[in-house]
Amino acid sequence: MAAARRAGLDDVTLDARSTVDRFFGGPFLRFPRQGQIDAISYLAGLVRAVERRGGRIFGRSPVRDVAGGRPARAVTRDGWTVAARAVVVATNTPFNDRLAIHGKQAAYTTYALAARVPRDAVPRVLAWDTADPYHYVRLTDDVREPGAPSGGGASAGELLIVGGEDHKTGQADDFRRPHARLESWTRAHFPMVEEVAFRWSGEVMETIDGLAYIGRNPGDDPNVFVATGDSGHGMTHGTIAGMLLCDLIDGRTNPWQLVYDPARLPMRAAPELAREGTNVALQYARWVRGGDATSVDEVLPGEGAIVRSGVDLLAVHRDDDGRVHARRAMCPHLGCVVSWNAFEKTWDCPCHGSRFDRFGELIHGPAQRGLARVDDAGADGFAVRAASAVLDAALRSASMAAALALRALRAIRRGEAGPGAR
Ligand SMILES: Cc1cc2nc3c(=O)[nH]c(=O)nc-3n(C[C@H](O)[C@H](O)[C@H](O)COP(=O)(O)OP(=O)(O)OC[C@H]3O[C@@H](n4cnc5c(N)ncnc54)[C@H](O)[C@@H]3O)c2cc1C
Ligand code: FES
């Protein structure tokens, strides 16, 4: 409550009996001016606005290199070069960064389901708890007629969307469990739930202090910008990024630029930084442990497992017809060993969240290409690259820690080190 007041939200109240407490069972902070938008309609409107002003949008044109300067350049994987006054890398997590950003944000897999509920049985609010892992709920129309506009039209009832049960990408004891836990939680708190109609999952980038990184890419030319670290608030952060980055590119100051500055290292986030750094460093230990299976024969149809082959580790998937598909298990980003996600049937990297399909093709960065083929001679230096990545990670974590320590010392000398020191 005090934090909300400090942020200027004067109308937030602590409600002992809110419209949703009977489902969650506790007092609530109530934010009265909530809004709900249809994300697809919002995006369609943005596309129309860009095109109206003469902009052109090229999908399916992955970029492999970005360089600042005059002009800045983006080079696509097909070899085309786009020259511009400035480049904004808004690829969810930046592919053009080694550790300046990836050392300060972590990829989390988050789960969601949509369950049918009778109309008016649940109040139309967005509500979330403070558990770890957290849960949130919201309501939308259950539009079943084919071709009906999303969010409108004749509707049979309502869909309760429930999300949460996040875990670090690539790090779960059993990838099937979060969905089961989410459904049990839903049924325990919302007994009016009928069938679960949809389930899905995705990734969110959690920063060390909860706010997005929007601004100049640290350590890069001044006309290369990033927008990342949405922490599950991509609609809000994306809108802020549009406003803030326009000002920065046009040379105007913006009151939010320090708040979202990608180069920031808040002192209060030092424990989180250390925790995440240690977690990532520990993932590299996988290289010296055994595989999930001792031989390819143990991998069941429809499943995948890491199998040791000499000094190398292989990501092995057996398809439903019994054919074996093997790739090298080293993530092409910075050399971690990928994990088999038995629910999504994907290979997920536990270090910075890259994801690959069951055959090893790239789904989501920061990696820029799929897992190397077993006979790919160019991937032979995996041990050297993994070792250099660990060293790189250690050096950067140490330099971040040193920078924080230095700032703490300076603040103590100036007598400023209090809870508000940043
Ligand atoms: C289950 C779930 C629920 C969520 N709920 C909410 C919510 O209620 N409210 C909210 O505000 N946010 C929510 N979020 C978060 C929000 O969806 C994301 O933060 C947001 O979509 C991120 O937007 P983005 O543009 O950064 O990334 P994306 O939407 O992932 O877009 C990145 C784009 O970059 C492209 N790309 C990637 N690599 C390259 C390359 N090398 N070259 C060219 N293009 C490339 C991709 O193809 C993609 O089109 C949720 C997320 C999940 C997973
Ligand atoms: S995403 Fe960075 S090592 Fe895999």
| Residue having the nearest C-alpha atom to atom 3 of ligand 2 | 334
For residues 20 and 123, the answer to whether their CB atoms sit within 8 Å is yes
How much distance in Å is there from the Cα of 228 to the middle of ligand 1? 9
Which residues of the chain fall short of a pLDDT of 70? 17-19, 21-22, 144-155, 377-422
The per-residue pLDDT for 419 is 35
Q: Where are the alpha helices (DSSP H) in 264-311?
A: 270-283
Nearest ligand to the C-alpha atom of residue 138: 1
Phi, psi of 58 (to 5 degrees): -115, 110
The per-residue pLDDT for 96 is 87
Nearest to 190, CA basis, from 137, 142, 143, 140: 137
The per-residue pLDDT for 49 is 96
Nearest ligand to the C-alpha atom of residue 77: 1
Q: Which two tokens stand for residue 38?
A: 């249809």
| Residue having the nearest C-alpha atom to atom 47 of ligand 1 | 91
How much distance in Å is there from the Cα of 352 to the middle of ligand 1? 15
The per-residue pLDDT for 420 is 35
- The secondary structure element, H or E, covering residue 245 is helix 234-249
| Nearest atom within ligand 2 for CA of residue 352 | 1
- Beta-strand (E) ranges in 90-134? 105-117, 127-128
Question: Ligand 1 pocket, 238 CB below 6 A?
Answer: yes
Question: Ligand 1 pocket, 108 CB below 6 A?
Answer: no
For 88-105, the pLDDT digits (tens) are: 999 999 998 777 899 899
For residues 295 and 306, the answer to whether their CB atoms sit within 8 Å is no
| Residue having the nearest C-alpha atom to atom 1 of ligand 2 | 352
Tell me the C-alpha to C-alpha distance, in Å, between residue 366 and each of 53, 210, 228, 333: 31, 20, 12, 7
Question: Ligand 1 pocket, 42 CB below 6 A?
Answer: no
The pTM score is: 0.87
